[in-house]
Structure 1
Amino acid sequence: MYRKKVFLFKKDKPVEAVIRNYTKSDFPGLIRVQQESFPPPFPSDLWWNEEQLTNHITLFPEGALCVEIEGEIAGSITGMRMNFNRKNIEHSWAEVTDEGYIKTHAPKGNALYIVDIGVSPEYRGLGLGKALMQSMYEVVIQLKIEMLLGGGRMPGYGKVADKMTASQYLDAVVNGEIFDNVISFLLRCGRLPVGVIPDYLEDEESRNYAALMEWRNPFCHD
């Protein structure tokens, strides 16, 4: 089981946090974080329910992590394993993750796929998202998985969709010409772009596009 203590900083003040596997007793806190992290227009039916969370801790408990501050769940990250073929990157979040129920989890899959990451607004600014992502990299290394993958929303794309394609937008973010809340965050976490996926998720801000972003296990080489 995974568990580590870290100190994060709110300005110059250290804040102690514990990152660990989540369990059934954490379900109410996890659902609350989802509701706070993804307010409308994000579809409310995509918030976690107890059946989904039960599958997470049953099918792939190694990929079910949360961060706790002073006994309260402040954020979470969930992953599953899949078989990834670089020649065909197009997919939707729903089909890969089985609508978040992860019955599609492949125990011997070559990639750890990020199903979801969320941090309660109350705790943003501490670097919890990056700390959770780094913890999942450690899971990838521990399990000797080739890579970590996930589709990143592009919430700024909708504002410029009439001026450029989704691929051009992603290139502009990578080149530092545009800041995107999600993609720029993933770049800071060490993720690299693989390509753009249409019809990834019902997401008006991103015009339903997502950027497939990867992190390769430095101990696994082609």
Structure 2
Amino acid sequence: MYKTWYVFDGDKPIQAVIRNYTKNDFQGLIEGQKESFPPPFPEDLWWNESQLSEHVERYPQGALCVEIKGEIVGSITGLKIKYDPNEPEHTWSEITDDGYIRNHDPYGNALYIVDICVKPDFRNLGLGKWLIQSMYEIVVYERLERLIGGARMPRYHLYQQKMTAQEYVNQVMEGKIKDPVVTFLLHCGRSPVQVLPNYLEDEESCNCAVLMEWKNPFIRLV
């Protein structure tokens, strides 16, 4: 994939590029992770070069970055899996092979989002939504059934003593709580499926996530 378009910083249009990342981009991608996920996010969950090598070798179509003026300012990574909506339970570690995606299935029916990040200084440009949109395009192009992924709930720790994770999601859906990740993905067209307990070691989300999906509108699913 390679596409250019304009995003707006206030009233000023700025050209952006989304393309497949390569081995030459690894250092920029790792720096982007560090800026995007500062502590208390676990450092061992930042990308390393071994993981990135697997991404570009096993499924380069699902390894995308976004550039502004030649600087990598965000990325998104996916793998193909065989997904059974009747058995949605999983952890991030299980379904992504701890981020190495060695379990990528070329014959899978769904695109699973392993990770998305945008550097904080560039989050006012709407780049995250464009990265998600690019993954939707892959779903359509490869005739997959859906895009899915576990969404962190980074404000849940503020409410854990008052409500369950499912109640928190319900409050987000009612517009009573705005969650940086879940609300963002709703704006991108994703829909919640169910809460995933013990999804990822994540202090802010109390180790929980909500599985969210986008169905291919050109394929009728029962």
Please indicate, yes or no, whether the TM-score normalized by the shorter chain is above 0.5.
yes
Deviation, structure 1 residue 205: 1.0
Residue pairs, 1:57-96, within 5 angstroms: 57-96=56-95
Gap runs ≥5 in structure 1 = none
Match of 2:31 in 1: 32
Is residue 2:200 matched to residue 1:201?
yes
Alignment root-mean-square deviation, CA:
0.7
Match of 2:175 in 1: 176
Aligned AA (2:151) = G
**CA–CA distance in 2 between the matches of 1:49 and 1:55?**
10
Q: Secondary structure at the match of 1:94?
A: helix
Deviation, structure 1 residue 158: 1.0
Deviation, structure 1 residue 12: 1.0
Aligned AA (1:198) = P
Is residue 2:14 matched to residue 1:18?
no
Match of 1:160 in 2: 159
Deviation, structure 1 residue 163: 1.2
Structure 1's consecutive aligned runs of 4 or more residues displaced over 6 angstroms after TM superposition are: none
Q: Secondary structure at the match of 1:181?
A: coil
Gap runs ≥5 in structure 2 = none
Match of 2:2 in 1: 3
Deviates more, 1:126-135 or 1:159-168: 159-168
**CA–CA distance in 1 between the matches of 2:207 and 2:131?**
25
**CA–CA distance in 2 between the matches of 1:46 and 1:26?**
18
Deviation, structure 1 residue 204: 1.0
Identity, in percent, stands at: 59
Deviation, structure 1 residue 22: 0.5
Match of 1:220 in 2: 219
Match of 1:187 in 2: 186
Residue pairs, 1:128-139, within 5 angstroms: 128-139=127-138
Aligned AA (1:107) = P
Deviation, structure 1 residue 81: 0.6
